[in-house]
Amino acid sequence: MARLVGINHIALEVGDVDDALAWYGRFFEFELRGRAGPRMAFIDMGDQFIALAAGRSQPGDESRHFGLVVDDKEAARAALLEAGVAVRASGSLDFDDPWGNHVQVVDYRDIQFTKTAAVLNAMGLDGLGKTDAAQREIRERGLGG
């Protein structure tokens, strides 16, 4: 039996890849890893990525979602609010993209998920630490630090 060790990528269906790159680019800084023709693009997140695929046909998701980890959740919230995207003024940060994908945004500092120092360095995020609560959770789970 194989043990789960992480997520390599998320495949996200959108209506149009160029529109999705422009829409997500209004709220998040990212690097485009590459494209596979006009119907697929890959957004880097350090050692993970999102694959955007054109052709979403199903209705919007009400409870199924995915979570993105960012270096500054409140900066993402401010950008979303400024663009008129429906999000709460504080607390959890959830939104639906124009194609019905439900997204949750969490701050790296607040969660047990970690990236290696080398990956953080390559992403220009040296010194991005963890809150005391996140550090405690990491220790309690026997994951380090």
Order of strands, edge to edge, in the sheet holding 93-96? 65-70, 102-107, 93-96
Number of domains in the chain: 1
Residue at 4 is within a domain: no
Q: List, for the chain, all residue ranges whose pLDDT scores fall below the cut of 70.
A: 145
Res 3: pLDDT: 85
Res 61: pLDDT: 79
Tokens 């003024």 locate to 89
pTM reported for the whole predicted model? 0.89
CATH number, position 130? 3.10.180.10
Res 103: pLDDT: 94
DSSP β-ladder status, 48-54 and 40-45: antiparallel
